[in-house]
Chains A and B, each alone.
Chain A
Amino acid sequence: MTQAWIPLALTLKVAGWATLLNLFLGVTTGYVLARKRFPGRDLLDAVLTLPMVMPPTVLGYYLLVLLGRNGPIGEWLVSNFGINLIFTWQAAVVAATIVAFPLTFKAARASFEVVEPQYEQAARVLRVGELALFFRVTLPLAWRGILAGLLLSFARAAGEFGATLMVAGSMPGKTQTLSIAVYEAVQAGQDDLANFLVLVTSVTCIAVLLAAGRLMPGRVPGQS
Chain B
Amino acid sequence: MTRFSVFALGLLCSGQALAAGLTVSAASSLTNAFRELAPLYEAQHSQTKIQLNFAASGALLQQIAKGAPVDVFASADQVTMIQAQEQGLIKADQRRNFVSNSLVVIVPLQSRAAPASLDDLTTPAFQRVAIGLPASVPVGRYTKSTLEKVGLWAAIEPKMIGSQNVRQALDYVARGEVDAGFVYGTDAAMMADKVRVSFTVPTEAPILYPIAPVAGSSNAEAAQSFVEFVSSDEAAAVLAKYGFGKP
Binding site for B on A (CB under 8 A): 64, 68-70, 86-87, 165, 169-171, 184, 186-190
Contact = CB atoms under 8 A, between A and B. Distances in A.
Contact of A189 (B65, B133, B175, B177): B65
A70 B175 contact: yes
Given A170-B133, A187-B135, A64 B175 contact: yes
Contacts, number: 48
A68 B161 contact: no
A64 B56 CA distance: 22
A187 B176 contact: no
A68 B176 contact: yes
A184 B135 contact: yes
B62 A69 contact: no
Given A87-B177, A169-B161, A170-B133, A187 B62 contact: yes
Given A169-B163, A188-B133, 12 more contacts: A64-B177, A68-B175, A69-B177, A169-B161, A170-B133, A170-B162, A170-B164, A186-B62, A187-B56, A187-B133, A189-B62, A189-B83
Contacts of A68: 175-177
Given A64-B175, A70-B176, A171 B162 contact: yes
Given A170-B164, A187-B56, A189-B58, A86 B135 contact: no
Nearest to A189: B62
21 contacts: A68-B175, A69-B175, A87-B177, A165-B164, A169-B162, A169-B163, A170-B133, A170-B162, A171-B160, A184-B133, A184-B135, A184-B136, A187-B56, A187-B58, A187-B59, A187-B135, A187-B136, A188-B133, A188-B135, A189-B58, A189-B62
What DSSP secondary structure best describes chain A's contact surface?
loop
B223 interface: no
B128 interface: yes
A13 to B, nearest CB: 20
A165 B168 CA distance: 11
Nearest to B163: A169
B129 to A, nearest CB: 11
Given A69-B175, A87-B128, A188 B136 contact: yes
Interface string B167-202: 000000001110000000000000000000000000
A189 B59 CA distance: 8
Interface string B121-142: 0000000100001011000000
B61 interface: yes
Contacts of A87: 128, 161, 177
A69 B58 contact: no
9 pairs of A and B residues whose beta carbons are closest in the complex: A188-B135, A187-B136, A188-B136, A187-B59, A69-B176, A170-B162, A169-B161, A86-B177, A189-B62
Contacts of A169: 161-163
Interface centre among B128, B136, B175, B177 (most CB of A within 10 A): B177
Interface in B93-113: none
A187 B128 contact: no
Contacts of B128: 87
Contacts of A171: 160-162
A188 B65 CA distance: 12
A71 to B, nearest CB: 9
A188 B56 CA distance: 10
A163 to B, nearest CB: 14
Interface centre among A70, A171, A186, A188 (most CB of B within 10 A): A188
Interface string B49-69: 000000010110110010000
